Amino acid sequence: MTTIREARREDAGLILELVRGLAEYERAPDAVQVTEAELLRDGFPEAGGQRYFETILAEEEGGEASGFALFHPVYSTWRGRAMHLEDLFVRPQFRGRGIGRALLEKVAAIAVERECVILFWHVLDWNTPAIEFYKTLGAEPLEEWRRMRVRDEALRALAGKAPSEAK
């Protein structure tokens, strides 16, 4: 029997472990540079701090974590409040039991509770099993859109050019 619960501060190390598990599956095992301290700061802020994300955990009897979902609000200027699912992952040995679906359903329920009209996420275009699974849940791939990114040195260079009267 799987239960799903909100993550707590003491789960930050476990969340990092699950994030790394997902990155391995996504063929990017070395991409995870985030630290436990950053996950703690940004997911479980002190009073007054900004919360960047929320996490739910799937747990098996005995308390072992079998999967997680990590999400945060986004905004659609066409439709209004929306939720973005950043990570959804079930550990390989726990697959095929409906845990991924239960996590996704729970995130959908939280989104609806908060008056969000859309739930978004990203999927790798070669991950056909995931895409097909998501379609059975009523999801649509937005084929026309590409995600762009500017980061690190390039982001700082761009920032450095901002007009000073605009700062």
- Judged by CB under 8 A, the chain residues 125 through 144 that form the site for a second copy are 125-126, 131, 134, 137-144
Q: Total binding residues for a second copy by CB under 8 A?
A: 84
Q: What DSSP string runs through 43-78?
A: HSPPTTSPP--EEEEEE-TTS-EEEEEEEEEEEETT
Closest contact distance (angstroms) between CB of 138 and a second copy is 3
Cβ atoms 32, 23 nearer than 8 A = yes
With CB under 8 A as the contact rule, the residue among 75, 92, 95, 128 that binds a second copy is 75
3-state secondary structure (DSSP) of residue 144: coil
Rule CB under 8 A: is residue 76 a binding residue for a second copy?
yes
What distance in Å separates the CA atoms of residue 4 and residue 97, rounded to the nearest whole number?
14
Q: How far is the CB of 63 from a second copy (least distance, A)?
A: 15
SS (H, E, C) 86-111: EEEEECHHHCCCCHHHHHHHHHHHHH
Q: Which of 24, 124, 129, 132 binds a second copy (CB under 8 A)?
A: 124
One character per residue 3-32, x = contact with a second copy (rule: CB under 8 A): xxx-------------x--xx----x--xx
CA gyration radius, the chain: 17
The nearer residue to a second copy, 10 or 153, going by C-beta atoms, is 153
Q: Which of 8, 9, 79, 95 binds a second copy (CB under 8 A)?
A: 79
C-alpha atoms less than 13 angstroms from C-alpha of 158 in its C-beta half-sphere: 7
52 is catalytic: no
Kindly write out the interface string for residues 30-69 of this chain, putting x where it contacts a second copy by CB under 8 A and - elsewhere.
Answer: -xxxx---xx--x-------x-xx--x-------------
Task: Tell me the two tokens of residue 111.
Answer: 């989104």
Out of 70, 90, 91, 100, the only residue in the binding site for a second copy (CB under 8 A) is 70
